[in-house]
Amino acid sequence: MKIDGKPFRSIWRDDAGEVRIIDQRWLPHELRIVPLDSREDFATAIRDMWVRGAPLIGATAAYGVACQMRRDASDAALSETWEILHATRPTAINLRWALDEMDRVLRPLPPGDRAAAAFRRADEIAEEDVEINRRIGENGLALIREIAAAKPDGAPVNILTHCNAGWPATVDWGTATSPIYHAMEAGIAVHVFVDETRPRNQGAQLTAWELNSAGVPHSLIVDNAGGHLMQHGEVDLVIVGTDRTTARGDVCNKIGTYLKALAAKANDVPFYVALPSPTIDWTVTDGLREIPIEERDGAEITHVQGRDDQGRITTVQISPDGTEGRNPAFDVTPAELVTGLITERGICSANADAMAQMFGDLKNAAQDRRHGG
């Protein structure tokens, strides 16, 4: 996407082949671009959310393996790197998917061939993500167009989104925001309610920033306003992202998504999940019981980051000394609350049969790998 008219991605290789990222911790106030080189750099960047978002975590991990292969392409280094990067964050399945994919490609090769092959595959994973998200945009556009047709001429389609499933959560386009960008390009009037998304405020800091940059009309709202707006008919559609979706359509996403889905169900508001296929975990069915939910530092709740009057980015404490925060970073929305899954292959019902029909090849491949095929 573009920042001030200049095309950007969230991660890329520069002319010297070095990996660069936007360090998202400083957005929207500062655009800081940093290099990643050692596997510790990559582990820190994922764990401390310099980069975040399931697809971007996967792409970053892939480049982390590639950079390590340039240093030490031994079997031991390949295994250690898998472990180090896999330990950074437990919920987004794209991390394990990308690490397994790199291991699948590299393990059979002689060490001397691994670095070049690793960068080739990491580049492919990045490009595949961009194309997947572009197609999610096209498929979601059809949905927005259908809703627009039923509204008074010129009235905007009001879309609510939670957290940031935008282009900073991916290599480009985003998942939940891609249909919005495609609708803008198609001349369809849209307006986005952006959940601030406590505690880290990815909506306020990232989604609002990217929509601002793209000229998309939007309003920042507190997380607790969504239900009220739905009760008053102000929301036509909810589109959120996902960090892991099970084989039967249970959706794990940023904390608070489940409550949005409940409000949407109660108010007959369509609730869609933008789902790139690498975010499907075919090895789990019951999301509530099987998906590991990341518990992050309670300081993310008791403290908030922002820019002060002197333009300095600072963090302030908002709760009393001695008050601890309890900080589950994700929740699981059961499939029965999901109207549909917007995927790169089309819109799919959130149930095992529909998903198996649309993605049978990927499901079978995952089962083959699971059984050592």
Ligand X SMILES: CSC[C@H]1O[C@H](OP(=O)(O)O)[C@H](O)[C@@H]1O
Interface with ligand X, residue 59, by CB under 6 A: no
SS3 219: strand
Annotated binding residue at 202?
yes
Pattern of binders to ligand X over 129-168, x per CB under 6 A? ----------------------------------xxx---
In the complex, minimum distance from the CB of residue 100 to ligand X, in angstroms, rounded to a whole number:
18
Q: Which of 338, 370, 369 is nearest to 351 (CA)?
A: 338
Q: Would you say 29 and 313 are in contact if contact means Cβ atoms under 8 Å apart?
A: yes
Interface with ligand X, residue 52, by CB under 6 A: yes
CB of 45 or CB of 65, closer to ligand X: 45
Helices 111-149 & 93-106, crossing angle to 10 degrees?
Answer: 140
Q: Rule CB under 6 A: which of 186-205 touch ligand X?
A: 202
Region from 14-22, 52-60, 135-143, 179-187 binding ligand X, contact rule CB under 6 A: 52-60
In the complex, minimum distance from the CB of residue 74 to ligand X, in angstroms, rounded to a whole number:
31
Interface with ligand X, residue 55, by CB under 6 A: yes
Q: Which of 23, 172, 195, 243 is flagged as catalytic? A: 243
Q: Compute CA 362 distance to the chain's CA centroid, rounded to the nearest angstrom.
A: 20
Listed as own residue / partner, the contacts of 219-223 with beta carbons closer than 8 Å and 24 or more positions apart are 219/191, 219/192, 219/193, 219/194, 220/194, 220/196, 221/193, 221/194, 221/195, 221/196, 222/195, 222/196, 223/162, 223/195, 223/196, 223/197, 223/198, 223/256, 223/259
Q: Is 353 tagged catalytic?
A: no
In the complex, minimum distance from the CB of residue 164 to ligand X, in angstroms, rounded to a whole number:
6
List C-alpha distances in Å: 80 to 65, 99, 107, 274, 275.
Answer: 10, 11, 13, 33, 30
Q: Which residue is nearest to ligand X (CB)?
A: 241
Annotated binding residue at 296?
no
Q: Which of 2, 115, 134, 119 is nearest to 55 (CA)?
A: 134
CB of 106 or CB of 165, closer to ligand X: 165
Task: List the one residue from 10, 60, 158, 170 that touches ligand X (CB under 6 A).
Answer: 170
CB of 169 or CB of 335, closer to ligand X: 169
CB of 241 or CB of 334, closer to ligand X: 241
Joined tokens for residue 70? 């340039």
Annotated binding residue at 52?
yes
In the complex, minimum distance from the CB of residue 15 to ligand X, in angstroms, rounded to a whole number:
28
Task: List the one residue from 169, 180, 239, 284 that touches ligand X (CB under 6 A).
Answer: 169
How would you class 182 by CB atoms within 10 Å of its CB: exposed for 0-12, middle for 13-18, buried for 19 or more? buried
Interface with ligand X, residue 53, by CB under 6 A: yes
Task: List the one residue from 203, 241, 256, 287 that touches ligand X (CB under 6 A).
Answer: 241
Annotated binding residue at 32?
no
Annotated binding residue at 253?
yes
List C-alpha distances in Å: 12 to 7, 19, 247, 274, 276.
Answer: 12, 6, 31, 23, 20
Interface with ligand X, residue 175, by CB under 6 A: yes
Q: Which residues contact residue 256 at a Cβ distance below 8 angstroms, ignoring those fewer than 6 apart?
A: 162, 163, 195, 197, 198, 223, 331
CB of 52 or CB of 218, closer to ligand X: 52
Interface with ligand X, residue 9, by CB under 6 A: no
- Could you list the residues that contact ligand X (CB under 6 A)? 52-55, 163-165, 169-170, 175, 202, 240-241, 243, 253-254, 329
Which residues are documented as binding site for substrate? Answer: 52-54, 89, 202, 253-254
List the catalytic residues.
243
Which residues are documented as binding site? Answer: 52-54, 89, 202, 253-254
